[in-house]
Structure 1
Amino acid sequence: MARMLDAIRKFFAAPEAAAAADDPVVAVAALLVELARADADYTDAERVVVEHLLAGLFDLDAAEARRARLDGEAAQARAADLVRFTRVVKTQLSEADRVALMEGLWSVALSDGTRDPHEDALLRKLAPLIAVTDRDSAEARMRALARGAGTDGGAC
């Protein structure tokens, strides 16, 4: 029992965990992964969409985007809630980047060709938390749909 408590204390005291939470790339990756996992079916196609979005949003090469996705998966799995990530996005990304993220979130949600109620609920929750208006979110959804998300794997 003492070893388990020590491990928990070490995890919460780890400076790299705190630093990762403040990294906008990791924060965005964690939100994208959270959305991809919202329907309990995190597919390889969704992983590809997440990597593609990260590469586009942060000008990453394929290897960097894969690493960012993996870091986001780890951060998302450790997080008790999404507030730490939405706070970073809200304070460190421009309005245009937050709207682009919202469009990316819609691309992930639509990438499997269905609108899952869990994904819809999470998207409604995330928009105000990252300071994106309902109108901007709706327009982002329309752009994601027009680009073909939900019909061909959601490539953006």
Structure 2
Amino acid sequence: MFERLLSLFHPDRSVTPLPDADARHALGALMVRAAKVDRAYLFEEVEEIDHVLSHMYGLNAVEAAKMRARCEKLEEAMPDTDTLARVLHDAIPLGEREAAVKSLWMVVLSDGGERPEEGELLHQIERTLGVSPKRAMQIHAAAAMQAGQL
């Protein structure tokens, strides 16, 4: 409602609509949440989110940035991480959920390190997605190696 009132005073203001919580947007929102959990949403993380969205969904750079903006809105509107992860769990098979976990780790590691709160969030998401702890450790190690941190 507030955005609608502001748009009356600034008709040229671009407002990003809140997307449906489908699997694509849920993953994007989880990547945004993972990037923000350490209270520092850095350029490297934004760039990695755009890269993942582009690669996974065949988007060009502009389309990926627009999708990320919609995912940022969804992340803000969805306070419960498990709800977002449950959307993914219910919509995609285990192999794709494991790929999603790797993407989340790539975002977390893109700023050069991993903080305890990031690990806690990703372990919570892994559990909700039904990824076993053993498999989650393998995915984490693969992501760290790809990110050049092992």
The TM-score bracket by the shorter chain reads: 0.7 to 0.9
Distance 1:79 1:149 in 2: 32
Aligned to 2:27: 28
Confirm whether residue 92 of structure 1 aligns to residue 118 of structure 2.
no
* Aligned partner letter, 1:20: D
Paired residues, what number?
A: 137
Residues 87 and 129 in structure 1, CA contact (< 8 A), matched pair in contact too: yes
5+ unaligned residues in a row in structure 1: which ranges? 8-15, 152-156
Give the TM-score, by structure 2 length: 0.82
Give the TM-score, by structure 1 length: 0.79
The 5-angstrom pairing of residues 1-156 of structure 1 reads: 17=18, 20-21=20-21, 23-150=22-149
Aligned to 2:10: none
User: 4+ residue runs of structure 1 moved beyond 6 angstroms?
Assistant: none
* Aligned partner letter, 1:132: V
Greater mean alpha carbon deviation, residues 121-130 or residues 59-68: 59-68
Corresponding residue SS for 1:26: helix
1:98-138 Cα shifts (integer Å, max 9, x gaps): 11111111111111222201101101111011121112211
Summarize the Cα distance change of 1:44–1:60 in structure 2 as closer, same or farther, 3 Å threshold.
Answer: same
> How large is the RMSD of aligned CA atoms in angstroms?
2.1
5+ unaligned residues in a row in structure 2: which ranges? 6-16
